[in-house]
Amino acid sequence: MPITGGWANYFGLAEASNIFENLDGWIRRKIRSVLWRQWKKPRTRYQRLIALGLKEGTARKTAYGGKGPWRMAKTYGMHRALSNGVIEVMGYTSMADIVRARSECT
């Protein structure tokens, strides 16, 4: 939060909320990609996706998909397991929300 909060406060002076929404989407995809890499093996990926509440069939298709991390981060299964809400619970604060809150205060 400190880094993204600082960026949002610095660049929030410009009135371009669309840029922050696009950047938030890219960061969330990067988070999904990094988690995919950390899980390393398909079996671990399958177990983690099940633990995150994904159905077995979808988890199997996602875990054993032979694509790279960046491409897998955009799949249906990853979005269902690691939704925006789950990523927020993990500690990510949206830059667009920070800018919106800042503009409401002024």
CA dist 54 and 62 (Å) reads 10
Task: Give tens-digit pLDDT for 43-64.
Answer: 999 999 999 999 999 999 999 9
pLDDT score recorded for residue 6: 63
Specify the pTM: 0.81
Point out the residues of the chain with pLDDT beneath 70: 1-17, 103-106
Q: Could you tell me the residue ranges of all domains in the chain?
A: 2-105
Q: Residue 93: its pLDDT value, please? A: 84
Query: What's the distance, CA 31 to chain centroid?
Result: 5
Average pLDDT, the chain: 86
8 Cβ contact partners less than 8 Å away, ≥ 6 residues apart: 20, 95, 98, 99, 102
